[in-house]
A and B are shown apart, each in its own frame.
Chain A
Amino acid sequence: MISVRNLSKHYDETIAVNDITFEVKQGEILGFLGPNGAGKTTTMKILTCFMPPTAGSVTVDGMDVMDHSLAVRRKIGYLPEQNPLYHDMIVLDYLRFVAELRGIPADQQNARIKRMVEVTGLKAVLGKPIGELSKGYRQRVGLAQAMVHNPEILILDEPTSGLDPNQIVEIRHLIQELGKEKTVILSTHILSEVQATCNRAIIINQGKVVADGSLHDLQAAFHGQEKITLEVKAPKNGCLEKLRALPGAQQVRELTSSNDLRRFQIEVEKGHDLREGVFDLSVREGWKLLELTRQSTSLEDVFRQLTKG
């Protein structure tokens, strides 16, 4: 559906996007992850035909964004970063304006707008000027605007920024609903957002793609970083050594210890499950095991590993 090849974008001296390549299939919800300034917004601006790439190409349904700009733009709904809106316009007037520009036939405009108002829950504020709305409502206006023409592709630049936790859950739910029939690319630097909504993630850092795959694959690829945290009631001496002696334990750290309560963190070698061993050891030594948790590599760990430094 969308194919990005060797895309680069330079602003004067700085290189915002450096030779990235990826494909997006129909019906995918792609999370575009990266630290601030990684090139997410720049890539989206090129996808939406706002500006041309310095090198490389982007095609949507086989049409180049430069050569068939108008045709590509018709397929896309776009929520830019910062969600720019005309603050002096009434919500309904604004949606009608966008519907007209999007080329929705006059007899279908009202039905489409009505549908969007239902989906985004804008009914209560339809007659208000956008400038008077809360940030959450403005974001919904932005989303309604992006979807009013029922586009095949939705490009959302940080769709939940500035929303309160309830609104975030709502918007994510909305995006998931939409993702059933549409292709969605959303950018964010909030990892839980990707985990909650996307079925695939691309991590970019300093203008380069550093990871691309389903969430499961990404986590699996960086496996081996599994950790076990345990808390035991045990005498002071010998704990550390005995834990280190367990097969599969790579590194054991004592996190806290107070009186006879101790917390340890064990990094586990790939392919081992240490929990049973820890339990047996505790039984043998007469320790009282109070807590035992396994943490597999989170997306957060993957992200930090790929984008730090």
Chain B
Amino acid sequence: MRNILSIYKKELRSYFNSAVAYIVITVFLLIAGWFFSSQFFLMGQATVRTVFAIIPWIFIVFVPAITMRTIAEEKKTGTIELLVTMPTRDLDIVLGKFLAALTLLGIAIAFTLAYALTAGMLGNLDTGATFAGYVGLILLGAAFLAIGLFASSMTENQIVALIIGVVIIFALFILDWVTIFLPGPLASIFEFLSLNYHFNSIARGVIDSRDVIYYLSMTGFALALSVRALESRKW
């Protein structure tokens, strides 16, 4: 636990000491803000649904960009050798890094509350659906981060990590698009595995335990794979 905290603090500090955190938050808010403001006044409705619809798409690129250096860079510079020969478990390292990235993403998401407040001031905001949307975003973001971390743990090249991350997340995200081409049972499996499908159902305002469990297990699975990849030196 203490080790997780040490790594968490170090990672978070490195996000905010370098330009990474500021760039990520600024660009994220610019894009999300543009989509929010350009749609908001056209629709004439006090809702942040449009933002929730676009943020997952921004995340597909942004989240692997946050996580790409986490493990890849340690492999490249060799610091991973020091880290794993400390009395820490590989799981602690992965969790510390994951939680730090989640915090950064959480801060970026928290800034979008400004949109919700704006909408709330101008009209009657559906607070329940908005709350659900935020829960969905955090869950979705956590799953994306875990996948991005896994991508970073497979290579020592950050760009490769970014590309692998985007590809895996994108593939899992659009999995429910191909269902029309598939026979019934297979279609429902694909639909269930899709990152997008579960988000849509939460964003509608219904926090279903199935969706929550889906995201948590997706996150856990990807983190477990990251630990395995980190352990690959032992194979």
| Size of the chain B interface, CB-CB below 8 angstroms | 25
Of all chain B residues, the one with the shortest Cβ separation from A74 is B87
A145 vs B82: C-alpha distance when bound (angstroms):
10
Q: Tell me the chain B residues, 1-28 only, with Cβ under 8 Å from chain A.
A: 2-3, 6-7, 9-10, 13-14, 17-18
Say whether A102 contacts B81, CB under 8 Å. no
Say whether A49 contacts B6, CB under 8 Å. no
A85 vs B74: C-alpha distance when bound (angstroms):
9
Chain B at the A interface: SS class: helix
Decide yes or no whether B209 CB sits under 8 A from chain A.
Answer: no
| Given A84-B77, A88-B17, A103:B82 Cβ within 8 A | no
| Given A88-B18, A103-B2, A49:B85 Cβ within 8 A | yes
Q: Tell me the chain B residues, 63-87 only, with Cβ under 8 Å from chain A.
A: 77-87
A98 vs B79: C-alpha distance when bound (angstroms):
12
A88 vs B11: C-alpha distance when bound (angstroms):
11
Give how many A-B residue pairs fall within 8 Å (CB-CB): 62
A77 vs B80: C-alpha distance when bound (angstroms):
15
Of all chain B residues, the one with the shortest Cβ separation from A69 is B87
A88 vs B80: C-alpha distance when bound (angstroms):
15
Cross-chain contact of B234 among A52, A82, A85, A102 (Cβ < 8 A): A52
| Given A50-B233, A88-B17, A76:B79 Cβ within 8 A | no
Say whether B78 contacts A88, CB under 8 Å. no
Of all chain A residues, the one with the shortest Cβ separation from B92 is A101
Decide yes or no whether B103 CB sits under 8 A from chain A.
Answer: no
B73 nearest CB across to chain A (Å): 9
Contacts of A49 in B (CB 8 A): 85
Q: Tell me the chain B residues, 50-107 only, with Cβ under 8 Å from chain A.
A: 77-89
Say whether B85 contacts A86, CB under 8 Å. no
Contacts of B77 in A (CB 8 A): 84-87
Say whether A89 contacts B14, CB under 8 Å. yes
16 CB-based A-B contacts, threshold 8 Å: A50-B233, A51-B234, A70-B89, A74-B87, A80-B82, A82-B78, A84-B80, A84-B82, A87-B77, A89-B10, A100-B3, A100-B6, A102-B86, A102-B87, A103-B87, A145-B82
- Residues of A with Cβ closer than 8 Å to B? 45, 48-52, 70, 73-74, 76, 78, 80, 82, 84-89, 93, 97-98, 100-103, 145
